[in-house]
Copies of this chain bind each other. A is one copy, B any other.
Amino acid sequence: MSSPKMEFWYEFASSYSYLSVMRIERLATDAGVDVQWRPFLLGPVFLAMGWNDSPFNIYPPKGRYMWRDLARLADKYDLPFRLPTRFPRSGVLAARVALLGVEPGWVAPFSRKVMLANFAEDREIGEADVISGILSDLGLPARELLAAAVADDNKLALRRQTERAAELGLFGAPSFRIGDEMFWGNDRLEDALAWAQRTTA
């Protein structure tokens, strides 16, 4: 029998996506669930709800709380965290590169390094040299991958993936899908994996 599958929709600019990107591989392996990594962009999804910025910036009490909550959760999960001096940072380039890593299988370690750069090292993940350095650290051909990332077909692929997210009713990140069942938020990662196990068993 094949393993249960779960889609993992995340955005590199998203603070709670950071937690799930760091946690998901070990939890999914333990649960025997195959994770299908789906980087996408929250910006267009938020725009459709009338937000031209992160809701954490639009609603300051929510934003203040989110950063405190994130620090506590990072502590609980034993993950590093440093308050970013810029938020949100553009996740466009990182998402374009991540798409290229889905097939060859380096999307997970690449995504973790980008998330650590954003939320633990306070680095500008929107800039090509930061992404290039991460690719090189992973032993990947940075120059070729950056060129492929901004080629028209790959830009279109990310646009389509983001449109697909909106069609599926996604409104935030991280989100998890098993068949038509959707779970939203890092808080639901364990529930989503349990659902994947149950419904495929």
Give A residues with C-beta under 8 Å from B: 49, 59, 61-62, 64-65, 68-69, 72, 76, 169-172, 182-185, 187-188, 191
Asked whether A76 lies within 8 Å of B187 as measured between CB atoms, the reply is no
CB-CB nearest in chain B for A61: B171
Please give, as numbers and ranges, the residues of chain B lying within 8 Å of A72 by CB-CB distance.
Answer: 191
Cα A102 to Cα B62 with chains together (Å)? 28
List 21 interface pairs A-B (beta carbons < 8 Å), by A numbering.
A49-B59, A49-B61, A59-B171, A61-B169, A61-B170, A61-B171, A62-B171, A62-B172, A64-B169, A65-B169, A65-B171, A65-B182, A65-B184, A68-B182, A69-B183, A69-B184, A69-B188, A72-B191, A76-B191, A185-B187, A187-B187
A167 to chain B, nearest CB (A): 11
A115 to chain B, nearest CB (A): 21
CB-CB nearest in chain B for A59: B49
Cα A184 to Cα B66 with chains together (Å)? 9
Please give, as numbers and ranges, the residues of chain B lying within 8 Å of A64 by CB-CB distance.
Answer: 169
Cα A72 to Cα B185 with chains together (Å)? 15
